Amino acid sequence: MPQRKPINWLNTSFLLTTPILALIGTVCLAVYGHIHWQTWVLFTIMIFACGFSVTAGYHRLYAHRAYQARWPVQLFYLIFGAATFEGSVLEWCTDHRNHHRYSERDYDKDPYSIEKGFWHAHIGWLIRLDIESRDFSNVEDLKANGLVRWQDKYFVPLAFFMGLIFPTAIAALWGNALGGLIIAGFLRIVMVHHSTFFINSFCHIFGKRTYCKEKTAVDNWVLALLTFGEGYHNFHHRFPIDYRNGVKFYHFDPTKWFIRGLSYVGLTTDLKRVSKEKIERTRQQAAG
């Protein structure tokens, strides 16, 4: 019986207190205080800015190098990505690259392996995360990027500033600082956290194995709605280099539209696609 790793109290207390603060705070504000409509607009903008920073930035740009982005776009991803409290790009990508590399080969090396159960893949892995054991040898290419190194070095102050102080200060402009902190801060953090976690849990269990039957990853269009298109996870595990996850034109994948939209104004380049023929051949083999 392998020894269980000790509890990471920093992660555990953060992951436990943020939903409590978000829930109690939102109810109390709605009942005893006031949430301005502008605060809900700010919440929505923060959801999109942080969501795209994770899906288009952390995931498809940095972890998979599925396209290139100019520095203003990278800066946007790095500061709003920090606001999600999901770790720095270097931390997030070393784990994610190990997830892809080992998800079918060596469960102990996949940080959020579904073979260890839904709870472990969703959040349990963070509760027992051993930060010291990360070796970062699979992100040497990212360490060469000065902006990425800067985000890693100043991650904690950046996360607190962009994640909590910034929405509080903006909402103070219309006299709703507390609403900004609770709604655009804590509630938004919890929602972005769990939509990211859903990919590692739900999207390795409930859905279709369209492109590869051997992979645990599945395509789930409902999850795609909640995760800016990341729900087409079987396609993604089969073709991680493709900047799209929802590969058909009618698949709801706002992240691919965002990346492609930026390419029309020259802010993103070198968008990688697997050929239609190869995708179709792979789909038929999996169906056969």
Residues forming the site for Zn ion (CB under 5 A): 217
Is the separation of the CB atoms in 176 and 34 below 8 Å?
A: yes
Give 95 or 152: the residue with its C-beta nearer to Zn ion.
95
Q: CB 64 → Zn ion: shortest distance, Å?
A: 6
Please tell me the number of Cα atoms within 13 Å of 43 on its side-chain side.
24
Q: CB 236 → Zn ion: shortest distance, Å?
A: 6
Q: CB 13 → Zn ion: shortest distance, Å?
A: 27
Give 22 or 64: the residue with its C-beta nearer to Zn ion.
64
- Which single residue is written with the structure tokens 């982005």? 69
Q: Please tell me the distance from the alpha carbon of residue 63 to that of residue 232, in angstroms, as a whole number.
A: 17
Give 166 or 235: the residue with its C-beta nearer to Zn ion.
235
The angle at the Cα of 219, spanning 213 to 222, to the nearest 5 degrees, equals 155
CA–CA distances in Å: residue 120 to residues 76, 224, 236: 31, 21, 21
Give 39 or 253: the residue with its C-beta nearer to Zn ion.
253
First CA to last CA distance, the chain: 40
Q: CB 187 → Zn ion: shortest distance, Å?
A: 26
Q: Please tell me the distance from the alpha carbon of residue 95 to that of residue 111, in angstroms, as a whole number.
A: 6
Contacts of 48 (CB under 8 A, 6+ apart): none
SS3 for 69?
A: strand
Give 59 or 188: the residue with its C-beta nearer to Zn ion.
59
Give 62 or 85: the residue with its C-beta nearer to Zn ion.
62
Q: CB 141 → Zn ion: shortest distance, Å?
A: 15
Nearest-CB residue to Zn ion?
A: 217
Q: Please tell me the distance from the alpha carbon of residue 3 to that of residue 22, in angstroms, as a whole number.
A: 34
The one-character DSSP state at 16 is H
Q: CB 273 → Zn ion: shortest distance, Å?
A: 16
